[in-house]
Structure formats: C-alpha cells, structure tokens
Amino acid sequence: EVQLVESGGGLVQPGGSLRLSCAASGFTFSNNAMSWVRQAPGKGLEWVSAISGSGGSKHYADSVKGRFTMSRDNSKNTMYLQMNSLRVEDSAVYYCAKSTGSESFYKVDYWGQGTLVTVSS
C-alpha cells in the first residue's frame, strides 16, 4: 500500500525557515517523481515544486523560486522541502504527491494527508 506521510509543519515567524519531510513507503521511491502542493486556508490548490525520481531535475513555481529548495534522499525514501524567507502568504497545508513515473511530473496518483505551515508574528 502506498503511503506518503508529511511532517515538519508548524508556526514560524515571517522571514524564518522550516523544513518539511515526506516519508514514502509501498513503492520503489527512486522510480517516481514527486511534488509539493499547497492549499491556503479556504483556498484552492497551488502547485509548488517537483523533483524527478533521480533528484536531477527540480522545478519551482514562480511564487517560491529562490526561497524554497526541494530535495530527496532515495536511500531513506524521503523527500524534503526547505523553505526559507517565509512570508505570511506561504501559510498553507502542504501536501506531497507522487507521480506515476520518474519524469512524469504531470501524472499524479497518490497524495499524503498534508502538514500545516503557519507563518505569523
């Protein structure tokens, strides 16, 4: 059974940093691209970033480019999102999502349950 479990969310002040993790199980982690998607309270979904199965390709939404860094450790079946220079508008539930292939960012199948990030003073 595929499982994606996010962790690392919490309350942080504007300008601060936070690192989210997504622990994966139930599939061969290195064979699949992964993404982060966020949802602000009461709002719609926003794609944040994606990484290929090997970790060699990374892509970011313009809203987080230069501030967020995505990485993965295939030996630990875990993906990360390092978030720096956080803004109030980054407050959201952050979901990790699995794609069906190593480069097929656009074919999403499984989702985690999300972790809440609140940026506030």
Residue 33 makes CB contacts below 8 A (sequence gap 6+) with 50, 51, 52, 53, 98, 99, 101, 102, 103, 104, 105
The one among 37, 64, 86, 92 contacting other proteins by CB under 8 A: 37
* Contact (Cβ atoms closer than 8 angstroms) between residue 102 and residue 32: yes
* Contact (Cβ atoms closer than 8 angstroms) between residue 10 and residue 117: yes
Two tokens, residue 17 = 């940093």
Find the part of the chain contacting other proteins (CB under 8 A) among 7-15, 17-25, 37-45, 73-81.
37-45
- Which residue number, 54 or 57, has a Cβ lying nearer to other proteins? 57
* Contact (Cβ atoms closer than 8 angstroms) between residue 35 and residue 45: no
109 binds other proteins, rule: CB under 8 A? yes
114 binds other proteins, rule: CB under 8 A? yes
45 binds other proteins, rule: CB under 8 A? yes
The one among 78, 112, 117, 119 contacting other proteins by CB under 8 A: 112
47 binds other proteins, rule: CB under 8 A? yes
